[in-house]
Amino acid sequence: MATILKTDELSEVRKDADRLNAKTHTADELMEGITALLNEQMPKYNWVGFYMLEPGANPPMLALGPYRGAMTPHTRIPLNQGVCGAAASSGKTVVVDDVKKDPRYLACSLETKSEIVVPVFVNGAVAGELDIDSHFPAAFGAEDRALIEYIAQLVGKRMEKEQTASASSRAGK
Ligand code: SME
């Protein structure tokens, strides 16, 4: 029963994300809306935020974007640090069931027990990531991961469209 409810809940949130994608005007607005949606609708998603690669930064650096949840001391994260750095540098989703056991983990809140970080790809390259922390251990199962990867993809495609539109408007000038 619990599994059915969880599946329904996740599919509702997926539809809400699609609606947000249709009604927002920019990728930034979409990201802002996604953080609110996930933080408000998913009881175990206690901190939800985007980190985006700073354009032209050398060495590459992740900068905190829209987020919901407690203030974090980690507003900029180099790619060789943290679970966030690991996801961005490998281009792979990282799920940490118990943050205490992961030496890469950079603490944001003492209450955090588990974390998932999903890269956002734009034209095949990592442009940033969606980071979610939970006050519950092992909060991110296969269904959560599928939902969060779907949403990260929505954002990546949206950014792609925006970049294509601004490139063609520059070319037209
Ligand atoms: N825990 C992350 C840092 C970001 S905070 O969770 C918001 C990490 O280990 O990279």
Atom 5 of ligand 1, nearest CA residue: 108
For ligand 1, whether the C-beta of 68 sits within 6 Å is no
Q: Which two tokens stand for residue 85?
A: 């750095």
Judge contact between 110 and 65, C-beta under 8 A. Answer: no
pTM for this predicted structure: 0.94
Residues 6+ apart with CB under 8 A from 107: 99
Burial of residue 164, with CB atoms counted within 10 A of its CB: 0-12 exposed, 13-18 middle, 19 or more buried: exposed
Nearest atom in ligand 1 to the alpha carbon of residue 104 is 9
Atom 7 of ligand 1, nearest CA residue: 108
- Tell how far CA 60 is from the center of its chain: 18
Ligand 1: centre distance to CA 23 (Å):
30
Label residue 6 by pLDDT band (50, 70, 90): confident
For ligand 1, whether the C-beta of 77 sits within 6 Å is yes
The pLDDT tens digits for 88-131 are: 999 999 999 999 999 999 998 999 999 999 999 999 999 999 99
DSSP code for 138: T
